[in-house]
Structure 1
């Protein structure tokens, strides 16, 4: 089973590379404003997870600079479990002042990013 998942993961990464969406181009001032807004966002993800690829494609399509955190790293996985409540990816950590929200579903994350930044 491990070998099948590994092969499928590599196929997903290859197809994502070949058919990568174009990055949205903005004026420098508009991009700087968006970058300031996305500074408080982090995406916890696995590299070859198809749901994570979907969210990363939306991030690229919208021209966002969101920090990507590898959840396979034991320290990051532990942080995701203790602060977010469960180890599930993709997970978008949204920090707004003192409020921190953990968003888990890829469709909800994509919808949030499209509404807020598109």
Structure 2
């Protein structure tokens, strides 16, 4: 019975994965419009961020959509397959769990933020429309 369940979910994943990968490209959220100088400042700040993700992970897709909505240019690091990104996530972050946002502070310290809702809350707080309104005032 266990093998039937395993193959059932593999089949479901095989069918849904192409749709999950194509969806964000077909239905992109509208990003925040900032003046060029402000967007350049945001881009400079996002250079200290990196998102470790799996391409078809629903929680990773949720975070990437939030990044699109906030017009953020965060480096994406695919940690699905063995390699340097997965190894760094495990060694420095402590575990292979995605999505994970690597936040490098100005003093060189690194913070690893797991959980999609926590990542989105962090990005909204730091780069959201409220933050943009504060800079323009």
TM-score, structure 1 length as denominator? 0.93
Which SS does the other structure have where 2:111 is aligned?
strand
Provide the aligned length of Structure 1 versus Structure 2: 118
Which of the residues 50, 58, 65 maps onto 1:50?
A: 58
Separation in 1, partners of 2:23, 2:46: 27
Report what 2:103 is aligned to. 94
Separation in 2, partners of 1:65, 1:107: 19
**What do you get for the CA RMSD once the two structures are aligned?**
1.2
For residues 4-83 of structure 1, the aligned pairs below 5 Å read 4-75=12-83, 76-83=85-92
Separation in 2, partners of 1:105, 1:88: 9
TM-score, structure 2 length as denominator? 0.81
Of structures 1 and 2, the one with the larger relative CO (CA 8 A, separation 6+) is 1
Unaligned runs of 5+ in 1: none
